[in-house]
A and B are shown apart, each in its own frame.
Chain A
């Protein structure tokens, strides 16, 4: 289990995360939702150890360091691969660096998404690059897979395919934490939703709680974010 305790982060005096507390057990698909700049990416980066922070983050009760970092993987819309080498080369690199690399899963996903294996990643389309980024993260053999807006640029069919594959391919003890703005699309696939607003975690809902509320996830999110549907109409009227 990953435990985030009282984690705060500031960028040059600007608060990016404020006293965050969450627990991420094994075997869940968790949606991390929030507006741009809310702190989703910062939270993920703090957990991965890319950023310094105040507070404590542990994995199975231990501090995250080189001894257990391989239990975490990360797919980001910024793309963490090496653009000028081929997919095959990435496979070899991951195999060499991560003892738990799941080659069979990698091969199957590459085949499913029809990704070329002998072509430089920089020559992939944006959609293919996103897919490859996710394939690497899922195949690393990590217990916790973090995804930060991994589908920016992919078409809707592509994304649907991915969600289906994701829920099918994951083992019971594998956890996915996915940050995305595509709330409605992903709502059917997640077990839990964490809402972040202005650097604070404002809600943490299980699927059961969402169902019991009698509303959809997007309705809850809009309410939590004080979304005003009449805002557009008012603005348009003013412009006229």
Chain B
């Protein structure tokens, strides 16, 4: 038992303050939103009473955000750069002395994360109940008992978060939490193996956010469940397969030359890799191409002379820090585009729903009186949140990564700050995130144009308002 506890403590070092902070932030955020939104609940319907007692829908969104932030923070605190560095130098050796197999350590961390996630969820539920009850008391609803306060959890959005009424969402939440814990453990496992930490946590958290926020129809939730299950199985298979890879394979030696592989019973000493063998020369194929070409610096002067074509991909690479992990940046960029795109799909849902109603109402050349396709902007409302979040995320996270690369991952800041061209340092921190943010904004515009074309072309003319073109924008 001590072995397993030691394993957890090793991973958990220095993170408890952050975890406590987040646990404290959940009820505080709720309270703040609640106090801002409180009104007289008796002037409204019972549903609104519940919503107001919750602090409104915004409080629920804050709850989701804080919950997810907390989960990400736990992951980061355990797999952050500092921990990762330590895992290479110290923790791995200590782990080996514990005599735990990689699979059992993976499962231990899995159980630990599962417990952590459930604690967060429990804190969220407790917050909902406490704030709900507090709200009822503050508005003078004396005699409101615990049952009613608990009943507040049965609102539409509340039931998505705390599944006590909807079987599909119950299944979704169970699958998500298991997959999330598995992904967190896999991330630890990979970083311990000196590999690349898993980005799959994002792949589970994003569907959770979308399902919780939009509470879509059961069919979509089922699809999300299937996708998450398949991905989780694939990832667990990945962990197992890494343990069964042939030892001494020269093409794997460099990639997974982690501390775990140094175990005498894991490492095949009969296989030696010559110091200058091709396997070590990952860049040998490009030996004739200089950094100027490979990192987008070469054509700078040429481009400046005749700026015929601006290639955003080239520009982005040109202004990335030298040697930064582009795969990680690409994953962030792609993930952010996905978040924006997925959020904007709400328009299609609304539009297709409305179109279906209209198509069913058309009889010959007539339509049920009063039935019209809503104005374009009405259908577009609130569909940009995903893109806005994506733009902000990519801008600040990539900029932070660029900064951290210079200052924390490496100490190349000592070179960058000594360059005669001192703006190069700031340029390579900020320009690539700005390019990425502008690209997402461009995708958002293109997406909106496609929406508009679909709206104008696919909607029966009879169902369009005569002045629909003047209501494309909100002003």
Task: Say how far A81's CB is from chain B's closest CB, in angstroms.
Answer: 7
Task: Say how far A44's CB is from chain B's closest CB, in angstroms.
Answer: 10
Q: Which B residues between 265 and 311 are near A, CB-CB below 8 angstroms?
A: 276, 280-284, 287, 290-292, 294-295, 297
Out of A72, A89, A120, which one reaches B291, CB within 8 Å?
Answer: A89
Measured between alpha carbons, how far is A162 from B418 in the docked complex, in Å?
24
Measured between alpha carbons, how far is A74 from B419 in the docked complex, in Å?
11
Residues of B within 8 A of A93 (CB): 291, 322
- Among the 9-residue stretches B183-191, B331-339, B366-374, B408-416, the one with 4 or more Cβ atoms under 8 Å from chain A is B408-416
Tell me the nearest residue of chain B to A69, going by C-beta: B418
- Among the 9-residue stretches B63-71, B233-241, B420-428, the one with 4 or more Cβ atoms under 8 Å from chain A is B420-428
Residues of B within 8 A of A97 (CB): 419-421, 424
Tell me the nearest residue of chain B to A93, going by C-beta: B291
B364 at the interface (CB under 8 A from A): no
B167 at the interface (CB under 8 A from A): no
Q: Which B residues between 312 and 329 are near A, CB-CB below 8 angstroms?
A: 321-325
Contact B291 A88 (CB under 8 A): yes
Contact A84 B280 (CB under 8 A): no
The CB with the most chain B CB atoms within 10 A, among A89, A90, A116, is that of: A89
Measured between alpha carbons, how far is A93 from B424 in the docked complex, in Å?
12
Measured between alpha carbons, how far is A54 from B132 in the docked complex, in Å?
55
Task: Say how far A197's CB is from chain B's closest CB, in angstroms.
Answer: 25
Task: Say how far B297's CB is from chain A's closest CB, in angstroms.
Answer: 7
The CB with the most chain A CB atoms within 10 A, among B281, B287, B297, B410, is that of: B410
Residues of B within 8 A of A82 (CB): 321-323, 410, 412, 415
Residues of A within 8 A of B294 (CB): 89
Measured between alpha carbons, how far is A90 from B294 in the docked complex, in Å?
12
Residues of B within 8 A of A35 (CB): none
Residues of A within 8 A of B284 (CB): 118
Out of A84, A92, A119, which one reaches B323, CB within 8 Å?
Answer: A84
Residues of B within 8 A of A50 (CB): 413-414, 417
**B-contact bits for A146-177, CB 8 A (1 contact / 0 none):** 00000000000000000000000000000000
User: Known contacts A78-B411, A79-B411, A85-B322: does B421 contact A66 (CB below 8 Å)?
Assistant: yes
Contact B283 A119 (CB under 8 A): yes
Q: Which of the four size classes fits the interface of chain A? A: 20 to 34
Measured between alpha carbons, how far is A76 from B417 in the docked complex, in Å?
14
Contact A98 B420 (CB under 8 A): yes
Measured between alpha carbons, how far is A99 from B421 in the docked complex, in Å?
11
Out of A72, A96, A99, A120, which one reaches B297, CB within 8 Å?
Answer: A96
Contact A88 B287 (CB under 8 A): yes
Tell me the nearest residue of chain A to B300, going by C-beta: A96
Tell me the nearest residue of chain B to A94, going by C-beta: B415
**A-contact bits for B464-475, CB 8 A (1 contact / 0 none):** 000000000000
Contact A76 B412 (CB under 8 A): no
Residues of A within 8 A of B287 (CB): 88, 118
Task: Say how far A53's CB is from chain B's closest CB, in angstroms.
Answer: 15
Measured between alpha carbons, how far is A92 from B417 in the docked complex, in Å?
18
Measured between alpha carbons, how far is A163 from B411 in the docked complex, in Å?
25
Task: Say how far A6's CB is from chain B's closest CB, in angstroms.
Answer: 23
Contact A74 B291 (CB under 8 A): no
Residues of B within 8 A of A90 (CB): 291
Residues of B within 8 A of A76 (CB): 411, 414
Task: Say how far B34's CB is from chain A's closest CB, in angstroms.
Answer: 38
Contact B410 A83 (CB under 8 A): yes
Q: Which B residues between 116 and 156 are near A, CB-CB below 8 angstroms?
A: none
Out of A80, A86, A88, A119, which one reaches B412, CB within 8 Å?
Answer: A80
Q: Which A residues between 45 and 89 are near B, CB-CB below 8 angstroms?
A: 48-50, 66-67, 69-70, 72-74, 76, 78-86, 88-89
Contact B421 A81 (CB under 8 A): no
Measured between alpha carbons, how far is A76 from B411 in the docked complex, in Å?
9
A209 at the interface (CB under 8 A from B): no
Residues of A within 8 A of B418 (CB): 48-49, 69-70, 72-74
User: Known contacts A66-B420, A70-B420: does B283 contact A86 (CB below 8 Å)?
Assistant: yes
A123 at the interface (CB under 8 A from B): yes
Out of A72, A92, A123, which one reaches B290, CB within 8 Å?
Answer: A92
Out of A69, A85, A119, which one reaches B420, CB within 8 Å?
Answer: A69
Measured between alpha carbons, how far is A50 from B281 in the docked complex, in Å?
35
User: Known contacts A92-B292, A96-B292: does B411 contact A66 (CB below 8 Å)?
Assistant: no
Measured between alpha carbons, how far is A69 from B419 in the docked complex, in Å?
7
Measured between alpha carbons, how far is A114 from B374 in the docked complex, in Å?
73
Residues of B within 8 A of A98 (CB): 419-420
Measured between alpha carbons, how far is A73 from B419 in the docked complex, in Å?
10
Measured between alpha carbons, how far is A81 from B422 in the docked complex, in Å?
17
User: Known contacts A70-B420, A116-B276, A118-B283: does B415 contact A85 (CB below 8 Å)?
Assistant: no
Residues of B within 8 A of A72 (CB): 418
Residues of A within 8 A of B412 (CB): 80-82
Measured between alpha carbons, how far is A119 from B279 in the docked complex, in Å?
11
User: Known contacts A86-B283, A98-B420, A118-B281: does B415 contact A81 (CB below 8 Å)?
Assistant: yes
Task: Say how far B250's CB is from chain A's closest CB, in angstroms.
Answer: 14
Task: Say how far A20's CB is from chain B's closest CB, in angstroms.
Answer: 21
Residues of A within 8 A of B276 (CB): 116
Contact A120 B282 (CB under 8 A): yes
Task: Say how far B381's CB is from chain A's closest CB, in angstroms.
Answer: 45
Residues of A within 8 A of B283 (CB): 86, 118-120
Measured between alpha carbons, how far is A202 from B292 in the docked complex, in Å?
47
Measured between alpha carbons, how far is A50 from B415 in the docked complex, in Å?
10
Out of A49, A73, A85, A123, which one reaches B417, CB within 8 Å?
Answer: A49
**A-contact bits for B194-224, CB 8 A (1 contact / 0 none):** 0000000000000000000000000000000
Between-chain CB contacts (< 8 Å), 19 pairs: A48-B418, A50-B414, A69-B418, A70-B419, A72-B418, A79-B411, A80-B412, A81-B412, A81-B415, A82-B322, A84-B323, A84-B324, A85-B291, A88-B290, A89-B290, A89-B323, A99-B420, A118-B284, A123-B280
Residues of B near any A CB (own CB < 8 A) = 276, 280-284, 287, 290-292, 294-295, 297, 321-325, 410-415, 417-422, 424
Name 4 extra pairs, CB < 8 A, besides A69-B420, A88-B287, A116-B276: A48-B418, A66-B420, A85-B323, A97-B421
